[in-house]
A and B are shown apart, each in its own frame.
With several copies, the nearest count.
Chain A
C-alpha cells in the first residue's frame, strides 16, 4: 500500500449507463465521474443497484447500454485495467479448502506481485489475521472471512478500489483499522468507491457522497457541500 500506485491519474467516467435484468431496468441512464483522489461513498436503498454498479465497474458484469471507462478504457475484457482494480463484494471470493495465507499467496502470484510473500505477510499482519492464517477458510468466522476479502482486494495496491459494504461482519477493532486504512489509501493516483448503508462513520474520511436512486445518481457532491443537499443529508441522518 505504497504511494501513488499508477504512473497516470486514476479516473472513472460513466455515461448513460443502463443495466436491465430480463426487462426490468436496474440502472437507467446513470452517469458519474470520479476523479483522482476521490473517496466516494455510494448510498442507496436495498435493491437500488449499488452492487450492480460496482460489479460493472469491476468488469464482472456487462452493461446493457452506455459507456463505462475506467482509466480511459472499458473494464470488460481488459487485463491491463483489471490490474488496477480491487473489488470487495458480498462474497469473499476465496477457496474454502485453502488456508487464509494460501489464498493470499495465490492472489499475489496471480497478480504477478514481485515480492509476493512479503506483501502477503504484511497484509496478514495488518488485518490481524496471524492467529488463523493457517486455518482453511471453511472454518473461519464471517468477520475473519471479510478481513481476508479486504486483504485480498488491496494486496496488489490497486488504483481503483471498489468496496461493497466492507464493514460487514468486522468487529470494532477491525472496522476502526479499516477506516484508518481508508484514510491512508485515499491519495492522489487512487479512486475509492465504497457502498455503505450506514456511512456516518465515514463522512470524516470521504471526499464525496453519491446517492443512487431510481437507477441513476441523483446527487453527487463533496462531503463539505452536504449542507446544501437537505434531502441527501436527511437520508444520511435518518437513523444514527
Chain B
C-alpha cells in the first residue's frame, strides 16, 4: 500500500516539475497553440482546399495540426531533461522508472489536450462546424492520451540518438498513424451526426492504443533509459 502511494507520489512529482517549468517559462503551450493555428492556415492556403470540401476536412485538420503541435511539446518535454543531464538526476532518484514515464506522459497529455481543447472553438469558427460537443471532447482526450503516451515512449528513445533533435517525428508519425486515423474517423463521424455508440469500433481502437502504449511505457521505460 505504501508502495503504491510512493509510486503515485513519484509520478506526481515528475508531473508537477514539468508543470512548474512550463509555468516558469509560459512558453510551451503558446508555442504549441500558435503552431497548430499556423498549420490550419498554412494547409488551407498551400493546398488550396476548396471551400465545399472544407466541412469534411475540419476533423482531419484538427488532428493533423494537433499531432504536429504535440510533437513540439513532446520534444520540449524531453529536451528539458537533456540539458545539464537533468535526466540522470531523475534516473538516480529512488523511484521506479515507469513512474518517470507516467509523470512525463501525464504532463504531455495535459499540455496537448489543453491545446486541443483551445483549438476546438477556433476550428469551429473557421470551418463553420460546431466542434464544441461533449463526445467530441471525449474523443479528443482519448486520442491525445494515446498519442502522447506513445510519444513519451519514443521521445526517450530518440534523445539517445545522435540526431536527437529531429528524430522524434520520424519515429512517432508512422506508429501513431492508426491512432490518428481512428481519431479522425471518429471525429468526422461525430461531426456528421453519428453517435459515439455507432463509432465504437474507432473509439475502441484508440482506447486499445492508449492502453497498449502505456503498458509499453510501464514495461520498457526502464530498459530504454539505462545507458
Contact = CB atoms under 8 A, between A and B. Distances in A.
Interface residues of B, number: 30
Interface stretch (A22-30, A82-90, A175-183): A82-90
Contacts of B84: 91-96, 137
Contacts of B42: none
A132 interface: no
Task: Identify which of A59, A79, A83, A94 gathers the most chain B CB atoms within 10 Å of its CB.
Answer: A79
Nearest to A55: B227
B207 to A, nearest CB: 30
Contact of A82 (B17, B20, B25, B92): B92
B13 A85 contact: no
B21 A80 contact: no
Contacts, number: 85
B193 interface: no
A96 B79 CA distance: 11
Nearest to B87: A93
B24 A136 contact: yes
Contact of A60 (B14, B95, B227): B227
Contacts of B211: none
A97 B21 contact: yes
A82 B100 CA distance: 14
Contacts of B17: 95, 98, 106
Nearest to B100: A110
Nearest to A58: B92
A44 to B, nearest CB: 21
Nearest to A77: B222
B85 A91 contact: yes
B94 A102 contact: no
Interface string A95-125: 1111000100011011110000000000000
Interface size class of A (residues with CB under 8 A): 20 to 34
A189 B16 CA distance: 33
B226 A91 contact: no
B55 to A, nearest CB: 42
A79 B24 contact: no
Listed from nearest, the 6 A-B pairs whose CB atoms lie closest are A83-B94, A93-B89, A91-B85, A79-B94, A110-B93, A82-B94
Interface of B: 6, 9-10, 13-14, 16-17, 20-21, 24-25, 80, 83-86, 88-97, 162, 222, 226-227
Interface of A: 55, 58-62, 76-77, 79-80, 82-83, 85, 87, 89, 91-98, 102, 106-107, 109-112, 136-138, 152
8 contacts: A60-B88, A60-B227, A77-B226, A93-B86, A102-B20, A109-B13, A137-B84, A152-B89
Given A60-B226, A82-B92, A109-B9, 11 more contacts: A77-B97, A77-B222, A79-B94, A79-B95, A94-B86, A96-B83, A97-B21, A97-B162, A102-B20, A110-B95, A111-B94
